[in-house]
Amino acid sequence: MGKPSGFLEYEQKRNPAVVPEERIKHYNEFHEPLDMEQRRTQGARCMNCGIPFCQSAIELGGAVSGCPLYNLIPEWNDELYNGNMELALPRLLRTNNFPEFTGRVCPALCEAACTCGLNDSPVTVRENELSIIEYGYAAGLIKPQIPEVRTGKKVAVIGSGPAGLAAADQLNHMGHSVVVYEKADRIGGLLMYGIPNMKLEKQFVDRRVDLMLREGVTFVTNADVGNTVDAGEILSEYDAVVLCCGAQNPRDLSVKGRDVGGVYFAVDFLTSTTKSLLDTNLKDGTYISAKDKKVVIIGGGDTGNDCVGTCMRHGCRSVVQLEMMPKLPAARAEDNPWPQWPRVCSVGYGQEEAIAVFGRDPRIYQTTVKEFIPGENGSVKAVVTVRLEPKRDEATGRLMMTEVPGTEEVMEADMVLIAAGFLGCRKYVAEAFGVELSPRTNVATKPGSYQTNVSKVFTAGDMHRGQSLVVWAIGEGRKAAQEVDVWLMGH
């Protein structure tokens, strides 16, 4: 817990953000950390609540609330409050391989379940977590932990996103020799190219990768397994293989004019910016630029918000974000009580920036695109939008968003970004290893297991569970590593 009366004495205080007008001038993270005294005060707000919902992922009302890693949140909040950072750090690392990632990009399912949030603002769990791990690095407490004994077993991890890195980290510390294969030119997967720099600066990814290198993990980049690297050779060379290639098939739109120019998948747009930023600080001009463009983003989730923030930094002329679903309420509805995940309307950093510059929220709800209109040069010049309304499907009982006849409108657009989610893994990787896929094109396993139909091949992360969060990917990587270890060692 923290201080027994801390939640009554202290108000929640978040890390302050740089104002939108200033932060869109760069691609760096833009939250300033609190000083240690203020951070300890935030740790003091952690209650002796009896049942810490924060540290157990529980599905309630169709969504998970609480930490999928089962972080020992009250324990390290107590150490933080008492100034025992050297004790807080190992409690944090006991369940989370990469707090420096989750402390920056996790939507904080733990805070949604915080008992303090029932009647007040929740404890700043995510920021407390980040302060502990960054203290560990700054104080020289994060040092290579090299296994004293090696098992003689070799494991290949395919994919270096959060699931792959977590699996590799766990297996290496278990004493196995681990090689991570990554098809991109840099290690990190989603962490490197899927999440914009302003949410996760890549120096922090490189810092962790460098630590893992010193601990004995081998990384191979530009290795597209199943394409340029033969899967059969990997199967014959290694005692076990863990597939962690993510959910990389972007959901497309089957509408008239889809083949016009100027329409891109969000992942390609974001990746091009990050790669150019890291390679040449955007001087090479190889990225997909939104400068002076009227941008329409199709998709209202986190990826759509990241696209808004990136377009603002490019210097777009305007930006609109289309969201299929109705706008959520500003506060919890009666049928969405604590500790369920709060289904409420929030404003992301990109949307904050668009509001500051253009004077309005870029989101338009219950709307989608039904046609792309090309200009004379063959590139998109406008889109035809249509309003949607929720209707219950009589056969399945599911709520479906259906078009409202006669609500079509033409909206100017020089660029369109499709941020409609992902539909499972790249099939060529699965086919190369001979693993079966589920109806949702994820790699299939038995419930509660990470082993595929191929005896020595396991899977974890988005490739296994579908598009999800970094924290879930880390949890899957950890559990898959445990199953691999038992399979290799027999105990």
Same topology, domains 6-138 and 263-418? Answer is no
The SS3 assignment for 344 reads coil
The pTM of the full predicted model, rounded to 2 decimals, is 0.96
The answer to whether 166 and 478 are in contact (CB under 8 A) is yes
Look up residue 292 and give its amino acid.
Answer: D
Amino acid letter, 438: S
Which residue type sits at 53?
A: F
Supply the pLDDT for residue 159.
Answer: 98
What is the C-alpha end-to-end distance of the chain, expressed in Å? 36
What is the number of H-type helices and E-type strands within the chain?
17, 16
Kind of pairing between the strands at 240-243 and 457-459: parallel
Classify domain 263-418 by CATH number. Answer: 3.50.50.60
Q: How many CB atoms lie within 10 A of CB 280?
A: 12
> Measured between alpha carbons, how far is 484 from 472 in angstroms, rounded to an integer?
18
Q: What is the third-level CATH fold of 154-247+423-489?
A: FAD/NAD(P)-binding domain (3.50.50)
The distance of Cα 246 from the centroid of its chain, to the nearest Å, equals 11
Has domain 6-138 been given CATH number 1.10.1060.10? Answer: yes
- In the prediction, which pLDDT does 50 show? 86
Calpha distance 321→306 (Å, rounded): 11
| Residue 324 CB contacts under 8 Å (≥ 6 apart), including other chains | 300, 366, 367, 368, 388, 401
**Residue 443: helix, strand or coil by DSSP?**
strand
Dist. CA 180–CA 241, nearest whole Å: 10
User: CA 352, CA 196: separation in Å to the nearest integer?
Assistant: 16
pLDDT tens per residue, the chain (491 residues)?
A: 788 899 999 999 999 999 999 999 999 999 999 999 999 999 999 988 888 999 999 888 888 999 999 999 999 999 999 999 999 999 999 999 999 999 999 999 999 999 999 889 999 999 999 999 999 999 999 999 999 999 999 999 999 999 999 999 999 999 999 999 999 999 999 999 999 999 999 999 999 999 999 999 999 999 999 999 999 999 999 999 999 999 989 999 999 999 999 999 999 999 999 999 999 999 999 999 999 999 999 998 999 999 999 999 999 999 999 999 999 999 999 999 999 999 999 999 999 999 999 999 999 999 999 999 999 999 999 999 999 999 988 888 888 999 999 999 999 999 999 999 998 899 999 999 999 999 989 999 999 999 999 999 999 999 999 999 999 999 999 999 999 999 999 99
Spell out the residues 6+ positions from residue 90 whose beta carbon is closer than 8 angstroms to its own.
Answer: none
**Domain range summary for the chain, segments of one domain joined by +:** 6-138, 154-247+423-489, 263-418
pLDDT value, residue 48: 81
